Amino acid sequence: MINARLLLPVAAGLALSTFATIAVADDSNPLLSESRLPLQYPPFDQIRNEHFQPAIEAGMAAELAEMRAIAANPEPPSFDNTLVAMEKAGALLDRALTVFSNLNATNTNPEMQKIQQDIAPKLAAHRDAIYLDAALFARINALYAQRDTLGLDAESAQLLKRSYTQFVRAGAALDDARKAQLRSLNEQLSSLTTQFQQNVRQTTKDSALVVDKRADLDGFSASQIAAAAEAAKSRGLDGKWVITLQNTTLQPGLQQLQSRAMREKLYRASVSRGMSGPNDNRPVVAAIVKLRAERAKLLGYPNHAAWVLEDETAGNVEAVNRMLAQLTPPAVANAGREAADIQTLIDRQEKAAGRKPFKLAPWDWPFYAEQVRAARYAFDDGEVRPYFEIGNVLEKGVFFAAEKLYGITFKRRSDLPLYHPDTRVYDVFDRDGSVLGIFIADFYARDSKQGGAWMNSYVSQSTLFGLKPVVANHLNVPKPSEAQPTLLSFDEVTTMFHEFGHAAHGLFAASRYPSLSGTSVPRDFVEYPSQYNEMWARDPAVLANFARHHQTGAPLPQALLDKVLAAARFNQGFKTTEYLASAVLDQRWHQLPAGKTPSADGVMAFEQAQLTQAGLQLPMIDPRYHSLFFSHVFSGGYAAGYYAYIWSDVLARDTESWMTRHGGLDRANGDFLRAKVLSRGRSADVLSLFQSFYGAAPDIGPLLEHRGLAAPKPQ
């Protein structure tokens, strides 16, 4: 996942112009000037809460002055005095907002959350002041009308096209009255999405399950129990244990807890988030959906999804609905077969114990699915974890694969300041030995950190400014006590490889213009490099290098490795179904026209009705995210775009198929992918970039085969 900022400034330029000096007077604020650290790495040790708001507000003033100067330029519009000038604008705001939004996601506090609430509507108004500036749009419009006669190179032509499209989609062509309406809608939405995010964070923290008896944790490993004790201690609950929640509906602990009563408690703590109390998200969801639908109508679209998808590779609502409908029947059918296997196991165990069998419930699925998997493949998660120590996975797995594929190398450094002591920092060197960028690894969960896993950038690459990237990866792995190693599940290993795929996309960026650089691509393309990179977590050569016992150094036994790889397709019916349920919910919410959205009281009924209609309201499988904690779409920039993961996975599995056919972990393969896709950002149409690599249009077949959803081949 890519972390969406509170606002992506119209120009992501990173060089201060003379206009920025009008609002910069406080030398003690490190955000008001470029960092002097390598690659403009942020001076985290100098940054304080009190620095954020003044720097952001100064940045808004500076950028607005820059943009007004461009709009008022008496010279006829040219590419350089308009588009390049806009790329150079906004340096101060981009720097301050980037650091703030990234730290607010990774290490927040109440003061930062208050700042976020205060600046969100101001940023929305600032964005509108630029995009709705008639004089500025007139210059862009004039250039766009002459686009075929300007003699622009391909990337410059793409910048002109993107700038024109962004302005039109933001309402630049509206009359003054409708622009005023749009400003109001944008400000309200900015405040509401911030409120949703903060509600989720707080209710996720508050809903953590407090455990009084050690016996109730039976099934947990020693390191998990120690982590639960540490979590309790940090909350002043010495002598107890706390199972913290992650953002998904199903919690990791459900796979191991022996007590069915405890599993149900953990499940209900998770699904009840946002349903009542001071963090009730029902009215927030209702208001967001209503306002998004009204904004879409104002901009000339039938619904919010139509507005979003027009600018994605999918192109329209029909294409997304068609793909989701195509995938649902095989996924649900496969999930049904998996459920039958689990129910058979439950019946057998309960009868053997002299008890009446119970019906499979959502909180049972992870626990019994793990047993089915262990029986089918003769191993369980506890056997594998000792071979996946977090440092080995990163340095001898993720980095090793990148070294073999792309010729890049990594060196840990300890001289740069950290925003949290749990983070690690690495220099990344290119194949010629030059510095490529800086990589930050932040893998442990904490109350001050948002849930999930994501990548973000602190500095974006741009040859226009001679800037190299500073990128970060984030996971939410429970931190064990100091004496215990951090041992990962294979799913967590895969997530680490996934997020580094995003990092590679940012590190390999080689664009001239920062707004087209790296991960600045459509939502349904941005997940492609990350999902493709997951293949190396399963590659035997890569596994052999990092999958070693944390105590003895012994390699993961080949027989166990074979079982791990064979089990990769296990439970894919369930995983695909829970994902599709959330993707469908996202579309159904955002395909509602203005005037047809439910009230707060009808939010949950609407969710259930849409899942039923789509054939995804299953008694034993919940959506991966229920609406009230669906941060991706109600606060994270993926509104009407959550389908992007599976859309991108089609491209990813096509790429995996291509890599396999061409020899796998090979430098020539990596260099080819880097040249054709990973370095290009949005400097061209992204589907054309994919096709220039793959040599054909995307094919859904490898995805269905990868997930075990394809029809059996005739014998």
**Rounded Cα–Cα distance for residues 405 and 662 (Å):** 13
One-letter identity of residue 615: G
Three-state DSSP class for 620?
A: coil
Q: What secondary structure does DSSP assign to 478-496, as a single string?
A: PPPPTTS--B--HHHHHHH
Residues 6+ positions from 298 with CB-CB distance below 8 Å: 171, 174, 178, 181, 182, 185
Taking CA 304 as the corner, what is the angle to CA 114 and CA 458, rounded to the nearest 5 degrees?
Answer: 45
Tally of CB atoms within 10 A around 114:
13
CA-CA distances (angstroms) from residue 475 to 247, 387, 488? 12, 19, 11
Q: Dihedrals φ, ψ of 419, to 5°? A: -85, -15
**Rounded Cα–Cα distance for residues 64 and 45 (Å):** 30
Active site residue ranges: 499
**Rounded Cα–Cα distance for residues 289 and 382 (Å):** 43
The number of residues in the chain equals: 715
What's the chain's Rg over C-alpha atoms?
A: 25
Residues 6+ positions from 173 with CB-CB distance below 8 Å: 137
Closest to 704 (Cα-Cα) out of 642, 634, 645, 653: 653
- Residue reference for tokens 């220039």: 692
Tally of CB atoms within 10 A around 561:
19
Tokens of 203: 């209710």
**Rounded Cα–Cα distance for residues 67 and 336 (Å):** 57
Residues 6+ positions from 44 with CB-CB distance below 8 Å: 417, 418, 419
Three-state DSSP class for 210?
A: strand
Residue 417 and residue 45 in contact, taking contact as beta carbons nearer than 8 Å: yes
Residue 405 and residue 669 in contact, taking contact as beta carbons nearer than 8 Å: yes
**Rounded Cα–Cα distance for residues 482 and 486 (Å):** 10
CA-CA distances (angstroms) from residue 380 to 10, 325, 360, 386? 50, 34, 21, 12
Tokens of 696: 């054909």
**Rounded Cα–Cα distance for residues 66 and 73 (Å):** 11
Tokens of 499: 């997020």
